Amino acid sequence: MKIGILSEQSIDRLDWIRDHGFGSFQWNRFQDSNIAQASSSDWQERTKRWGEEIQRRSLRLSAIGVSYCNSMAPSNQEEVRFLMRRGIEVASLLEVKTVSCFSGAVIQTVENRRRGASSERLFEEFIPEVCDYWRPLVDMAIDFGVRIAFENCPQGPYHLPVMGYNLMSQPANWSIFFHAMDRSNVGLEWDPSHLICLGVDPVENLKEFGARVFHVHAKDAELQSEVIRRYGRCHPEAARHRFPGLGSADWRLIIQTLREVGYDSDLTIEGWHDPVMKGDRETEGLLGAKQHLESMLGKR
């Protein structure tokens, strides 16, 4: 289990990752790379060269983050379908096990509700539609020996635990979704910070769903109890996302449980969200999180 960070397709960033002692990275924002462009006829050769740059620095590519939008929105479906197909092929060429994305969900707009254009539906009622969209891509991934990992971020205002569009943000949907998909290569890009915001115990959650955790975003969170007492859990300041070690997650127990459930990938620190360690302090936050996780990796 190595410690890594998120990175776009950048040679300079690869050097930074290596020089600061990280062992791996997740390729983030795949859609912006020259390999993902539809007009790129030489994408396979570009993929090979990119892989050689990674190997030259003795880094491991833990996952490819292909798409982080609402995949089920009609305006996004064709683009996401293309990106996922390309991402699966690229992952296979680079011998990367996991491609990550958001499952998305069907959105009923406020305006449609006001007009009575569609009746209110429970979130889980959208699962068949989400499965119908993803099943052909999942089957393609099986043929290429690749796993699909859906992240559990709510993708809503302020990253609140409610009000988002992402079906897989709610653990209550996970078992239903996995059963409906009926594919062993469908799992989670698991981020404990979003569970903490929900009030879910990350360790207990891992014990239940650990076999489906294909990739981990190492991000922490802390609940603001005074804000919650005054304004409730849906206030934008009710929770703060933090670097590992600065929130309430017990990373020693998380790592121990990941080992117990047979997790086979890395801990990818997700920056950019910490309201304290940001801007000029981002690097300090990343390195502090790395040091904290390293100290936990040595404890069993």
Q: 50-54, 259-263, 295-299 — which is least confidently predicted?
A: 295-299
Task: Spell out the alpha helix ranges (H) of 38-107.
Answer: 43-56, 77-94
DSSP 221: E
Task: Tell me what pLDDT residue 120 has.
Answer: 57
Cα-based angle 265, 270, 274 (whole degrees, multiple of 5): 150
Distance of CA 149 to the CA centre of its chain: 7
Q: Give the residue-averaged pLDDT of 152-165.
A: 79
User: Mean pLDDT across the chain, nearest whole number?
Assistant: 92
Reported confidence tier of residue 107, pLDDT bands at 50, 70, 90 = low
Residue 131 pLDDT > 90: yes
Q: What is the pLDDT of residues 32-46, one digit of tens each?
A: 999 998 787 899 999
Q: How many angstroms separate the CA atoms of 151 and 269, rounded? A: 14
CB-based contact 216:259 (threshold 8 Å) = no
Place of tokens 């975003």: 217
Per the CB < 8 A criterion, the answer to whether 165 and 104 are in contact is: yes
**Cα distance between residue 270 and residue 268, in whole Å:** 6
DSSP 76: T
Query: What is the biggest distance separating any 2 CA atoms in the chain, rounded to whole angstroms?
Result: 59
Q: Which residue has the higher pLDDT, 67 or 291?
A: 291
Indicate whether this model's pTM tops 0.75.
yes
Q: So what's the pLDDT on residue 299?
A: 61
Q: What percent of the chain has pLDDT over 70?
A: 93
Instruction: Catalogue all structural domains in the chain, each as residue range(s) with its CATH number.
Output: 3-217 (3.20.20.150)
User: Rounded distance, CA 134 to CA 130, Å?
Assistant: 6
